[in-house]
Amino acid sequence: MIMKGKILFFVLLVLLSTAILPFPVIAGDDQNPEIVDTVEDARSYLDIEKAWFFEEESTPNYLYTTIKLRNSNVMMPKQHLTVHWKMDDEIYWTICSVGYEAGQWIHFNFGIGIDYWYDRAEVFDIEGEFDKESGTVTCKIPKSLLNDPEPGTILTDTSSECFERFGFFGRLGFGPKMRSILFYKLGLPELQVQDFAPNIIPGEEREYGKDYIIKY
């Protein structure tokens, strides 16, 4: 009887532990993205729905970032579609630039350091894909550019930003921040030419997406 009681107690303890302890969230794909955003708060081709990191067993020497847009429009020039993160206290980012050169209308880069549109960052050409049908933008980063992080390395402060650099309002002298304030004051979020994910709320502490853990 004592032995049966101990076994029953152990079984109940396991079941109770399973009920109390949450299962880990598996992130890194379209269904479990690290970064999510409010939709319809920017022009559809700049409106971020979500973004995520992933790796593939068949290509373990690469890290991928993907942005899912509400819509896609590769005809609009001066687009910047970016993903940002930190690793070992360094800032990294990927960018898909649209509409800067006629011979290279869609271009992909990876960068290390701040100010990805200035010269203070290290910038490298990389491979990528802009799927116009699904509205997804994927960048393929050689891990050698990340100093070959070990499995278990954590990417933190994840975020995404999409904006259009110039256009009509740009020619009038309105930069992305000025335009964001203008459309916000006018109550016209669907005309915004800059979108952050997660949202940046003025006066509140900046929030970031989930961490990503290197697998391979």
Spell out the domain ranges in the chain. 35-213
Residues in a beta bridge with 90? 87
The answer, yes or no, to whether residue 170 has pLDDT greater than 60, is no
Q: What is the DSSP string of 101-158?
A: ETTEEEEEEEEESS-TTSTTSEEEE-EEEEETTTTEEEEEEEGGGGT-PPTT-EEEEE
Q: 84 is written with which tokens?
A: 């940002």
pLDDT value for 148: 97
Output the six-digit token pair for 199.
């949202």
ω into residue 198 within 30 of 0, thus cis? yes
State residue 10's pLDDT score: 46
The pLDDT of 71-89, averaged and rounded, is: 94
Whether residue 176 is predicted with pLDDT greater than 60 in this model: the reply is no
Distance of CA 77 to CAs 97, 102, 134, Å? 9, 10, 20
